[in-house]
């Protein structure tokens, strides 16, 4: 039975040569062809230039009034120009860098020209000229992104043929319930409307469905990755509950409910036999550091080492100082390993890490370099990790005996971005500030609003406030 996994050569008219050309667009199967969606649409229904606004995209039907003139200039630049009688108007038509069009166009010929209307000059800057089957043109024409190996028309024809042949074999993808709840299109109809739109609203609905599908599949992949991570072997860190409790008692304040909740989530992951892969998100000042300290302490009571990584040396140094204080009365030995440490001292530090004499190693991201050998790394913590990618996290996860990984960030992450950047992780959120703390206001500004931001910062600093600026 035909299947969308068939190679493109199964489509009538596609031989080895065309298959090779299609491969340059990474189109190898029928499914690749059917899901190679247009980059844009050209308006194909002829309109009257008298009603057109400046810079509007349009299609105009008319008679060529003059032989096209080709002018060449600069390096491989050219212009093809002719006059077109459309309705009662004579307009100028100009095509840039498509000199070959000239040989298909002659005076007195009827054509449809698509392009952009330049009202002051009464000129159409053309994108396409149609010289055949003028009566059959209407609606929107799909335009695909192509390269020098394959022509637009060839691709259009091939996709149409593939659709005709395989339409009946396009399986549904989204569950019916979701499709109904979100008013999405059936997949077969979506594919048809994307390639051969018959109606603006249907085409719009098809694009919406395609976008939904893409996110849906992405989430499924991430879910599968999370599941696979769960099933992969990890450490079961048997921390000493009593010792952890005793440590928490030494903290000079009461944990917020949110902190207690995330501590439980993290501790459950530490103990479980799978590899933790968790993102801890909370505003600046929400108390992530103490949560991390509890996790560090727990892992160390089980006899493991912990690595804590910060994006800069300054942050790493601050962390090391804070934690050295927090752990002053405990058996935790803190070592600071950054690029600023002298080679000889670093050498010595690495030896101590390898021997297990230091159980908490704080440093910059350089800590994931292979040079550092741990005696028994159980937990790796990454602070402010928006500079860390999925790949780097994976490198870390594969270190030594596959340590548990906890990433911390203060950046409020919009849900859609959370899915794309942290989708493979479980998420813990501290959504509560310690009592008496002012909530943090977060503003998202565009680059062009920089002046507004600077003015605001000046005002705030003048009142003695502290400001933290995150630039992405």
**Which of ligand ADP, Mg ion, none does residue 255 bind to, with CB < 5 to 8 Å depending on kind?**
ligand ADP
The answer to whether 277 and 234 have CB atoms below 8 angstroms apart is no
Q: How far is the CB of 442 from ligand ADP (least distance, A)?
A: 13
Count of residues engaged in binding ligand ADP, rule: CB under 6 A: 14
C-alpha distances in angstroms, 163 versus 42, 141, 194, 279? 21, 16, 12, 44
Q: What is the footprint of Mg ion within residues 271-300 (CB under 5 A)?
A: 289
Distances (CA, A) of 116 to 120, 121, 460: 12, 12, 48
Q: Is 215 helix (H, G, I), strand (E, B) or coil?
A: helix
| Part of the chain binding ligand ADP (CB under 6 A), chosen from 210-218, 286-294, 353-361, 371-379 | 286-294
For position 434 contacting ligand ADP by CB under 6 A, the verdict is: yes
How many other CB atoms are there within 10 angstroms of residue 81's CB atom? Answer: 17
Q: What is the closest distance, in whole angstroms, from the C-beta atom of residue 362 to ligand ADP in the complex?
A: 14
Three-state secondary-structure class, residue 277: strand
Quick check: 397 binds ligand ADP (CB under 6 A)? no
Chosen residue from 286, 305, 338, 428 binding ligand ADP by CB under 6 A: 286
The residue within the footprint of ligand ADP, chosen from 102, 109, 290, 341 (CB under 6 A), is 290
CA distance 368 to 395: 8
Q: Is 312 in the site for ligand ADP (CB under 6 A)?
A: no
| Dihedral sign from CA coordinates of 151, 155, 156, 158 | positive
Q: Please, are residues 346 and 354 in contact by the beta-carbon 8 Å criterion?
A: no
Whole-number minimum distance, CB 451 to ligand ADP, in Å?
28
Q: Which is nearer to ligand ADP, 10 or 255 (CB)?
A: 255
256 binds ligand ADP (CB under 6 A): yes
The one among 282, 335, 378, 403 contacting ligand ADP by CB under 6 A: 282
Which range in 42-50, 216-224, 239-247, 248-256 contacts ligand ADP by CB under 6 A?
Answer: 248-256
Q: Does 289 bind ligand ADP (CB under 6 A)?
A: yes
- CA angle, residues 363, 364, 369, in degrees to nearest 5: 95
Residues forming a β-bridge with 421: none
User: Which residue has the closest beta carbon to ligand ADP?
Assistant: 287
Neighbours of 196 (CB within 10 A): 17
- Asked if residue 130 binds ligand ADP (CB under 6 A), the reply is no
Distance separating alpha carbons of residues 150 and 134, to the nearest angstrom: 24
Footprint of Mg ion on residues 403-432 (CB under 5 A)? none
Out of 102, 255, 418, 453, name the contact with ligand ADP by CB under 6 A.
Answer: 255
CB atoms within 10 A of CB 35: 17
Reduced to 3 states (helix: H, G, I; strand: E, B; else coil), residue 36 is: coil
The verdict on 319 binding ligand ADP (CB under 6 A) reads no
Residues that bind ligand ADP (CB under 6 A): 253, 255-256, 259, 282, 284-290, 410, 434
């Amino acid at each position: 039975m035909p299947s969308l996994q068939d190679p493109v050569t199964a489509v009538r008219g596609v031989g080895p040569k065309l298959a090779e050309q299609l491969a340059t667009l990474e189109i190898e199967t029928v499914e690749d062809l059917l899901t190679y969606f247009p980059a844009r649409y050209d308006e194909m229904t002829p309109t009257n230039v008298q009603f057109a606004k400046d810079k509007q995209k349009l299609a105009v039907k008319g008679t060529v009034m003059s032989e096209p003139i080709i002018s060449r200039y600069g390096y491989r630049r050219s212009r093809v120009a002719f006059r077109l009688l459309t309705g009662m108007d004579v307009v100028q038509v100009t095509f840039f860098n498509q000199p070959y069009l000239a040989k298909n166009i002659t005076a007195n010929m009827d054509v449809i020209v698509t392009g952009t209307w330049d009202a002051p000059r009464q000129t159409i800057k053309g994108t396409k000229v149609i010289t055949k089957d003028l009566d059959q043109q209407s609606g929107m024409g799909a335009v695909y992104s192509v390269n020098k190996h394959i022509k637009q028309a060839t691709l259009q024809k091939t996709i149409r043929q593939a659709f005709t042949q395989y339409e009946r074999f396009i399986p549904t993808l989204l569950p019916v319930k979701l499709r109904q709840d979100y008013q999405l299109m059936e997949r077969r109809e979506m594919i048809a409307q994307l390639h051969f739109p018959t109606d603006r609203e249907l085409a719009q609905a098809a694009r919406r469905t395609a976008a939904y599908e893409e996110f849906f599949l992405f989430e499924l992949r991430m879910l599968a990755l999370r599941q696979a991570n769960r099933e992969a072997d990890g450490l079961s860190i048997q921390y000493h509950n009593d010792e952890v409790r005793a440590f928490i008692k030494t903290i000079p304040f009461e944990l917020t409910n949110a902190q207690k909740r995330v501590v439980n989530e993290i501790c459950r992951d530490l103990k479980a036999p799978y590899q933790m892969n968790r993102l801890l998100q909370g505003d600046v000042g929400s108390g992530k550091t103490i949560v991390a300290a509890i996790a560090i302490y727990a892992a160390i009571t089980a006899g493991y080492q912990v690595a804590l990584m910060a994006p800069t040396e300054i942050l790493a140094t601050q962390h090391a100082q804070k934690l050295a204080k927090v752990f002053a009365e405990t058996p935790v030995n803190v070592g600071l390993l950054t690029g600023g440490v002298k080679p000889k001292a670093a050498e010595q530090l690495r030896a101590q890490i390898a021997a297990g004499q230091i159980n908490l190693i704080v440093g910059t991201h350089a800590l994931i370099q292979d040079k550092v050998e741990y005696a028994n790394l159980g937990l790796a913590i990454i602070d402010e990790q928006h500079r860390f990618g999925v790949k780097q996290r994976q490198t870390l996860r594969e270190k030594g005996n596959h340590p548990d990984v906890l990433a911390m960030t203060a950046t409020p992450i919009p849900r859609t971005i959370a899915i794309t950047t942290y989708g493979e992780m479980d998420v813990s959120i501290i959504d509560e500030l310690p009592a008496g703390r002012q909530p943090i206001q977060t503003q998202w500004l565009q680059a062009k609003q920089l002046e507004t931001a600077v003015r605001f910062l000046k005002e705030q600093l003048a009142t003695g406030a502290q400001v933290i600026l995150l630039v992405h």
